[in-house]
Amino acid sequence: MIAWLVIFLTLGYTLVLGLNLWIFIEHWQIIDAPPAIVHTVKFRILHCFGHLILTWGCTLEKLRICRMPSFCQFLHDLLPVQKDPNLVVTNLRFGTITVRLFQPKAVTCFPRRGIIYYHGGAAIIGSLDAYHNLCSFLAKKTDSVVLSVGYRKLPDYHYPVCSWDCLNATIHFLKTLKMYGVDPSRVVICGDSFGGGLVTFITQALVGRTDIPKVQAQILIYPVVQGINFQLPSYQQNKKVPFLIRDLMMCFYRYLSIDPCWEDALLTGACIPANMWEKYKKWLSSDNLPERFRNKNYKPEFLAPFNEAAYLETRHLFEIDNAPLLADDQVIAQVPEALIVTCEWDLLRDDGLLYKKRLEDQGVPVSWYHAEDGFHGCIILFDSKFFSFPCIEKVMTSVVKYLMER
């Protein structure tokens, strides 16, 4: 009996090890690691480990052991949280929404700047713990009160829960700023990736509100502001560049409850009615991008024949909370000034560039920082020591500089 148990465990261990090795080698070969990204070997290793976690999450989900988002969140939250003796960190609840408040201990005679932060992760990963070190850094470096919003995510919550959680938490905080020692005239909203998209939605949703203080500025770090045109140059150029390869982005559409069978229709534009494309291409088309971001290998947009069934299943992609790039001009013209951070080796690079143009066209002041060696998701590695990259420090320096000038 013992012998059979040993054989069984040995075979199981060998199977798991072999599967891990196969996944690792496969992705090492298929991904692109541009030379401009310093430490390309480390870059590849990080992506392979990330994909390994995602693959095991999907495997465990198919075996009905646990759901993929829960598995990924569990491992992501194992990242170490560093306590800063110069900050007071408080976990709070705004109704059903968990938030974390970071306040400098130093005494001040005047109210401080307030920063509201929405983390990235496409409603799958990302959490208060995962972004704890980054928010601590912002609070300490800029002498600000930082509110990190822990909006509800997959697998239990789908569209539009994230948007409304962040909006409600923001409104509550804006109504109680004095309680936290925040100057009502110096509130900045910030987010990265999915969180950057939430920033654009919320700043638009707050336009015209007179019952709460007006947000001073918005910071968008490689934001996602549309999920309609997947033929933009950055989607072609960086479709195999980690950490957000195109196949992985399609996986994230489970938050919108879009069945994977519509992937081809999404990628080719078959879900976009011709009249809608004519209406929105002035904002969605690559024609709005600077010439240098349309390289010689770029193939201009070409929509596949319209598939009405695909449109009916994906039409909520045209809702403003999913595509804030499509907001009306009169709304865009009233949003606060912005810092937009884009990364050259990012699938979503052109989303940020398109939103930048929309703001500028409506007279909204825009500061722009472009990381030539940057890649999507880089700031989640902030303060990770061995797995740090030069672009992370550059991005965070640009954010801090922008905040200190306001």
Contacts of 179 (CB under 8 A, 6+ apart): none
Nearest to 200 by CA among 340, 316, 376: 340
Count of CB atoms within 10 A of residue 134's CB? 22
Alpha-carbon Rg for the chain in angstroms: 22
Q: Which amino acid is at 287?
A: D
Q: Please say whether the beta carbons of 257 and 229 come within 8 A.
A: no
> How far is the C-alpha of 130 from the C-alpha of 123, rounded, in Å?
13
Q: Between 161-175 and 194-205, two packed helices, what is the crossing angle to 10 degrees?
A: 60
- Listed in order, strand segments (DSSP E) in 193-322 are 217-221
Is 286 catalytic? The answer is: no
Instruction: Give the angle 332-334-339 at the CA atoms, nearest 5°.
Output: 75
Is 361 catalytic? The answer is: no
Choose, from 192, 346, 350, 351, the residue flagged as catalytic: 346
> Any alpha helices (H) in 31-112, and if so which ranges?
40-62, 68-76
Is 383 catalytic? The answer is: no
Q: What six digits make up the tokens of 168?
A: 């409600």
Q: Please say whether the beta carbons of 43 and 55 come within 8 A.
A: no
Choose, from 27, 132, 376, 398, the residue flagged as catalytic: 376
Choose, from 127, 144, 163, 193, the residue flagged as catalytic: 193
> How far is the C-alpha of 84 from the C-alpha of 104, rounded, in Å?
10
List residues with catalytic annotation. 193, 346, 376
